[in-house]
Structure 1
Amino acid sequence: MFGTQAQRRELSNGFTFQRPNWRPTAARGGSGGPPTNTATTTRAKEPPSLSVKFQDLYGFTVEGNIDDVNVLNEVREKVRQQGRVWWALEASKGANWYLQPQISSLVEGISVGSLKLSVLANTISLRRLIRKGIPPVLRPKVWLSVSGAAKKRSTVPESYYDELIRAIDGKVTPATLQIDHDIPRTFPSHPWLDTPEGQASLRRVLVGYSFRDSDVGYCQGLNYVAAFLLLVMKTEEDAFWMLAVLLENVLVNDCYTDNLSGCHVEQRVFKDLLAKKCPRIAVHLDSMDFDVSLVTTEWFLCLFSKSLPSETTMRVWDVLFNEGAKVLFHVALAIFKMKEEELLNTHQIGDVIDILQTTTHHLYDPDELLTVAFDKIGSMTTNTITKERKKQEPAVMAELGQRLRRLNSLKDEK
């Protein structure tokens, strides 16, 4: 087994969070904003069209222009300001007020009259705050609380994770073989994930979960999700429980099973929602015979971690862990909505893909994305999406069954 128990519990990520220094910014104080270490890139006086590289808050190398850097600096200033709001609430409501019992974001139709006013007020305040962004320093603790991961972990002995890792050490399964194949390809340029220590930590989390839930085992896409969880949560055990609550409670069932039936259902639901929320886009893409799942399957399987800048992804995950899987639909629809006019002017499938990929890779301002997602897309309750899923499940299962029969028929012919 790699490393001691103490080493496993607290990761030494081995990289410094960096920020570009195109303009003076306030040093980090009690606001919980990002560190002020500077990246050595290009001076601000150079033209905005110049392409530059720099490290973002989570250690990823980003390539963009000076306008992109300025957007990131403005976003990080908002993060610091938002952090001050969180600290002020801690001062007035007490430390860790957001860890108090909240209304479950996944249960709707609850009677407000049956709730204590303090719980209701905290829940409303927390929902509003989380949509504006959780300060990075508080993110691990808040995620564990609002997602239900801390509660899930409390139902097993404290030694559960350590014993699991010891029990599976050296065991080989189809899942472990695939994990070993995928880990070197998981964000290979990241300064910590591309080290022996980082890869060993990621492997333990993924292999550990593959033994916890043999029905899921391992599916490509989970490597990127688990990698992001490690970068945010800092400890393997916390990342493991966040992965567990994500797959067992937050996302729809069977998203990552062998036949990906849950993911196929989500794609059909998304197509229906696109037709309702963005009808002009849906009609135009249908006329081109463009299947949106060519793009959106990766969005849903990787939870945008391979598409959006890391800091924007974390803002999406802030809301995802608090409000549930409906957030993925809001965000996916918002990306299409933001580029509606450009998409309507396309005539080639390749152009559609280029627009969507370019858009996601340069969405450095999460507020812009989330404002469209929640203010311009319109309401979508969890119950509504659940009904849509139930409507799509029979067709998906019939299609998968037919595919399986064809495969078996081909095997018999051989």
Structure 2
Amino acid sequence: MYGTKGKIDLAFEYQSQASILRPSIHSRRANLTVKFQDLYEFTVEGNVDDVNVLNEVREKVRQRGRVWWELEASKGANWYLHTTIGQGSALTSSLKLSALSNAITLKKLIRKGVPPVLRPKIWFSLSGAAKKKSTVPDSYYDDLTKAVDGKVTPATRQIDHDLPRTFPGHPWLDTPEGHAALRRVLVVYSFRDSDVGYCQGLNYVAALLLLVMKTEEDAFWMLAVLLENVLVNDCYTNNLSGCHVEQRVFRDLLVKKCPRIASHLEALEFDVSLVTTEWFLCLFSKSLPSETTLRVWDVIFYEGAKFIFNVALAIFKMKEDELLVTHHVGEVINVLQMTTHHLFDPDDLLTVRLVAFTVYVYQFLSFQPFSYPFSYIYFMVSLLSISLHVYFKGTTRSTHIMYFMTNRGYNWGWGRRNLYLVSHKQVDYIIS
């Protein structure tokens, strides 16, 4: 998807210009401002406290790496692949108990962060990228690369335009070699999925995937599984319908989870999509420091896209007091930008406690189909992986109440009747 105008462009433009609204950090603490490289060689600007935090993060990464290696030694190589509990005989079988134990251990470990050296292998296995790659010939990526070489489309022209603007100054990405590798990944995917083609934001996502995965082909398959299986459908298509649904969902969640913030922002006539559009389309890669972004991605690739909302809510929640004393839109953006810019310790973000809560979508008129856009209801269920209680027209008997539990394949169960919601019944979903 390329050349899309509208809210996405406004959001990117507003964010890029917002810096002129705040005093320069140099003018306030010039003697403390330094430039330094983070874990993935991005040059960032911060104060001496940020440098100390980053050093502490590096030590945490080393310590957590030792935990992973000890598990490799005790449970065996690739133990994390054996986390599925099969069907059939008693759950007490040693194999199933082992799988359950592995699954619980794995979720806890991933929440605490995957060591950088293990990320390529862990991501590729757990995200489904390895399985997706196995369904095509080994030469698929090379063949497609050769087939599209030299072809010019509106998507390729937009990609060429965006390459120099993708993480400028990075010692590898901002080189002819880095540009060429990133271009191939983006161009090849634009031909694989013509509905998506290319969309602004994918350049940042693909660039970070290249840094982590090390090879073009693995980065390509990670991009494919991300867009085709992990994220909500149509986030990057021409009309950005999936992205618009995400914004609507997030606004509802903010009202329920952070009502004071939501009320204050509404009074300021602040549209949260001015910041969250970039967060969601770039998966925080343009906003958060690299290691913090990748800690978020660790969870997304394992638990799914619902975690994007947890992170966005946490950013607002952790700065609630500051947001409540803002007086105009520019101040709000500055608070959020400064917050994300200095989140060098992922634990500061990922340990914000978002107590489980329920959001209600009310419907009416049992003899009419529900008026909420179908994509909205479908998105709630498929994305958040919850059970949906559906009541059929004319009855509330338990035999006519169906429970749909979705998974990443977005499987739906259908009854004999058309789907209706009974008057004043509710669809509820839970973030935890």
Q: Is the TM value for this pair above 0.5? A: yes
In 1: Cα distance, 2:269 partner to 2:227 partner: 32
What secondary structure sits across from 2:185 in the alignment? helix
Aligned to 2:82: 100
- 2:48 corresponds to which residue? 66
1:391 and 1:89, CA in 2 relative to 1: closer, same or farther beyond 3 A?
farther
Q: 1:76 aligns with which of 58, 62, 77?
A: 58
Aligned to 1:377: 354
Does the CA-based 8 Å contact 1:202-1:227 persist in structure 2? yes
What is the aligned partner in structure 1 of residue 163 from structure 2? 183
Q: Residues 213-252 of structure 1 correspond to what in structure 2 (within 5 A)?
A: 213-252=193-232
Distance 1:210 1:297 in 2: 21
Kindly report which structure 2 residues correspond to 1:135-214, keeping only aligned pairs within 5 A, or say none: 135-214=115-194
1:291 partner SS: coil
> What is the match of residue 69 of structure 2?
87
Name the counterpart of 2:420.
none
Match of 1:296 in 2: 276
Instruction: Describe the superposition over 1:324-344 as per-residue Cα deviations: whole angstroms up to 9, x where unpaired.
Output: 001100000000000001101
Using the alignment, how far apart are the partners of 1:103 and 1:294 within structure 2? 42
User: 2:85 touches 2:96 (CA, 8 Å); kept in 1?
Assistant: no
Distance 1:124 1:345 in 2: 41
1:98 CA drift (Å): 1.5
Tell whether 2:331 aligns with 1:351: yes
Question: Structure 1, residues 281-331: CA drift from partner, whole Å, max 9, x if none?
Answer: 011111111100011000000000000001110101011101100110000
- Residue 269 of structure 1 contacts residue 392 of structure 1 at CA under 8 Å; is this kept in 2? no
Name the CA distance, whole Å, in 2 between partners of 1:364 and 1:272. 29
Q: Please give the residue correspondences for 1:125-140 in structure 2 after superposition, counting only pairs within 5 Å.
A: 125-140=105-120
Q: How has the CA–CA distance of structure 1 residues 78 and 291 changed in structure 2, closer, same or farther, with 3 Å as cutoff?
A: same
Query: Structure 1 counterpart of 2:34, which letter?
Result: V
Higher mean C-alpha deviation, range 335-344 or range 171-180: 171-180
CA distance in structure 2 between the aligned counterparts of 1:244 and 1:49, rounded to whole angstroms: 45
Q: How far is the alpha carbon of 1:380 from its aligned partner?
A: 7.0
Residue 33 of structure 2 is aligned to residue 51 of structure 1 = yes
Decide which moves more: 111-120 or 226-235. 111-120
Q: Conserved in 2, the CA contact under 8 Å of 1:149 and 1:244?
A: yes
How big is the shift at 1:113?
8.1
SS in 1 for 2:162: helix
Question: Which consecutive residues of structure 2, in runs of 5 or more, have no partner in the other structure?
Answer: 1-28, 364-370, 378-432
1:101 to partner: Cα distance: 4.6
Tell me, what secondary structure is at the counterpart of 1:135? coil
* 1:181 CA drift (Å): 0.8
Can you list the C-alpha shifts for 1:114-158, whole angstroms capped at 9, x where unaligned?
991111111110010001010100000000111111111111111
What SS does structure 2 have at the residue aligned with 1:116?
A: helix
Q: Aligned partners of 2:156, 2:254: CA distance in 1, in Å?
A: 37
- Larger relative strand fraction: 2
Q: Is the 8 A contact 1:312 1:366 kept in 2?
A: yes
C-alpha distance in 2 between matches for 1:344 and 1:112: 51
Which amino acid is the alignment partner of residue 38 of structure 2? D
* Structure 2 residue identity aligned to 1:304: F
Q: Retained in 2: the 8 A contact 1:265–1:393? A: no
The structure 2 residue matched to 1:315, chosen from 291, 295, 306, is 295
Contact 1:48 1:66 in 2 (8 A): no
Alpha-carbon distance in structure 2 between the residues aligned to 1:162 and 1:61: 33
The CA distance in 2 between the partners of 1:308 and 1:356, in whole Å, is: 11
Higher helix share: 1
Q: CA deviation at 1:395?
A: 7.9
- Give the aligned CA root-mean-square deviation in angstroms: 2.5
Q: Quick one: percent identity of the two aligned structures?
A: 77
Please report how far the alpha carbon of residue 394 of structure 1 lies from its aligned counterpart in structure 2 after TM superposition.
Answer: 6.0
Deviations 1:77-100 (A, max 9, x none): 111111111111111101121133
Look up the equivalent residue of 2:195 and give its one-letter code: D
- The alignment's TM-score, normalised by the length of structure 1, stands at 0.77
Do the aligned partners of residues 380 and 254 (structure 1) sit closer, same or farther apart at CA in structure 2, a change above 3 Å counting?
farther
Distance 1:62 1:357 in 2: 14
Letter in 2 for 1:305: S
Secondary structure of the 1:54 match is: strand
Distance 1:216 1:285 in 2: 33
* CA gap 1:154/1:384 in 2 versus in 1, 3 angstroms: farther
Aligned to 2:13: none
The two structures have a TM-score, normalised by structure 2, of 0.74
Q: Distance in 2 between matches of 1:203 and 1:254?
A: 22
Structure 2 counterpart of 1:347, one-letter code: H
| Conserved 8 A contact 1:268-1:392 | no
The CA distance in 2 between the partners of 1:353 and 1:103, in whole Å, is: 45
Query: Which shifted more, 84-93 or 112-121?
Result: 112-121
Alignment-derived partner of residue 261 in structure 2? 281
Whether 1:324 aligns to 2:289 is no
- 2:91 and 2:317 map into 1 onto residues whose CA distance is 33
Whole-angstrom CA distance in 2 between matches of 1:225 and 1:61? 18
Deviations 1:239-271 (A, max 9, x none): 000000000000000000001000000000000
Matched letter for residue 63 of structure 1: E
Moved over 6 A (4+): 111-115
